[in-house]
Amino acid sequence: MGIERYGSAPAEEASGIAGDFQTIDLQDDFVTGDNEDGEIGLLNWQFNGSLNYVDGENNHPGIIELEDAAVGGAIANLYQGTSPQRDLFEMQNFSKLFVFLRPTSDPGDMDVRIGIFVRHDLDPPSQGCYIEKLAGDINWFFVCKDAGGETRVDTTVASTITDWYGFSIERSGASVIDFAISDTNVPAGTGQIVTNVPTPGEGMNIGAQVIAKSNPNQKIQLDYFGFQLLTTRTIE
């Protein structure tokens, strides 16, 4: 599985009264919007902490910066919907996620998570499948966590403040999650987790967490967020 941007559902699935309404593709390049809560990007993301737009770069036309300005348990997070506790979809409807990000402060002094979570306001989330870099880690990790435990897989790709990283998460089976990582647009590793995957009926949301540890003002930049949900909705 590679990391690539993807388009919307075919027109025959996305328009008309009769037909299949089974694929939901949402993507955000963060070119539009402003830094007000509920007005971030095309998808009107919500956030806690501090968030600002920064100048775009070559191949990264829209960039937001999520910052945890305090220490002592504060969580800066980005999420969809009205609350970090909201269940946006069930795990069984999750298909795939793509994200491009870059740490812009000391990777050794913050926890970072990107993916799908139960409870964005908890550290760590109570359940989820996500990419993780803890303050004590050198490398990025692939993670699945359910009510019974956690599985972490070392990507062997180190986190720096200079590189853009691309991540993908894909549910390829009822309890099978495939991950991939790229470093500055070069494929760098893949992994698969089949243990501690949240159950199909578990409610999920999508987004990111940044948690400052010893020093405040820890930040990451996000250039792109895309995800796909699959349903069995039809109208005859």
Contacts by 144-153 with C-beta closer than 8 Å and gap 24+? 144/177, 144/193, 144/195, 144/196, 144/197, 144/198, 145/196, 145/198, 146/196, 146/197, 146/198, 146/199, 146/202, 148/196, 149/195, 149/196, 150/124, 150/196, 151/193, 151/195, 151/196, 153/179, 153/191, 153/193
Q: In the prediction, which pLDDT does 29 show?
A: 95
Reduce the DSSP state of residue 91 to 3 states and report it.
helix
Per residue in 161-217, pLDDT tens?
Answer: 989 999 999 999 989 999 999 998 788 899 999 999 999 999 999 999 999 988 889
CB neighbours of residue 231 within 10 Å: 15
Helices and strands: H and E segment counts in the chain: 1, 18
Q: In the prediction, which pLDDT does 128 show?
A: 96
pLDDT of residue 15 exceeding 60: no
Query: Per mean pLDDT, which of 78-87, 121-130, 226-235 is the most reliable?
Result: 121-130
Q: Per-residue confidence at 8, pLDDT binned at 50, 70, 90?
A: very low
Distance CA 73, CA 92 (A): 31
- pTM of the full predicted structure? 0.88
Q: In the prediction, which pLDDT does 188 show?
A: 87
**What are the structural domain ranges in the chain?**
63-220
Share of the chain above pLDDT 90, in %: 67
- Determine whether domain 63-220 maps to CATH 2.60.120.200: yes
